[in-house]
Amino acid sequence: MEQYLSFVTLDTWTFIFTWVNLLILFFLVKKLFLKPIQKMLEARNAEIEADYSKAKTAQLEADKMRAEYEEKLSTAHISAEKIVADATMSASLRGDAIVKEAEDKAAGMLERAQKNIDAQRDAAYAEIKNEVGTMAVDIARKIIEKDIDKKDHEELIAKALEGLGGSDE
């Protein structure tokens, strides 16, 4: 049992030696492993911060570009609406001009047709006047050639009127 007792008992020098070994090991680990690991963690942290900063800058730039795009799009919509309004107005004005031109042409054609009708009517009146004059002369000659009574006079007028009606057809 004694041989086992040495394992269970507390020896002061062993205790001190163990603590000194532990402290040396702690400083060695701290010097050799802890500082490089901390440097590596700090570098990784700095890299993450830089990436985060870049992402934030990219987000701000994307927001700025989106705002510019929306502004340009709005301007384009306004410009397109103005172009459509101008084209509509131009088409309306052109349509009005075409209608006015057509009305003027129609009025000119009507005026020429009216003048043509008036000229033809005047020519027809002149022809009728000529024929009536000729007929009146013929009637007068027949009256002069023969002494007519009232009955003969009425027959001559009827024949003359029939002649007028017959030449009209």
| pLDDT digit string, tens, across residues 2-20 | 677 666 667 788 889 999 9
pLDDT value for 168: 42
Rg (alpha carbons) of the chain, rounded to whole number: 64
Q: Which ranges constitute the DSSP H helices of the chain?
A: 2-8, 12-29, 35-145, 150-168
Mutual orientation of helices 150-168 and 35-145 as an angle, nearest 10°? 150
If residue 169 lies in a helix (H) or strand (E), which one and from where to where? none
Residue 1 has pLDDT above 70, yes or no: no
Sign of CA dihedral 74, 75, 77, 78: positive
Q: Write the CB contacts of 95 (distance below 8 Å, at least 6 apart in sequence).
A: none
Phi, psi of 67 (to 5 degrees): -65, -45
Tokens representing residue 109 in the block: 């054609």
CB count within 10 Å of CB 80 equals 10
Answer whether 0.75 is exceeded by the pTM. Answer: no
Give the DSSP H/E element, type plus range, for residue 10: none
Is 60 exceeded by the pLDDT of residue 167?
no
pLDDT per position as a tens digit, 96-154:
999 999 999 999 999 999 999 999 988 888 888 778 777 777 777 776 666 666 777 77
Model confidence over 106-122: pLDDT tens digits? 999 999 999 999 999 88
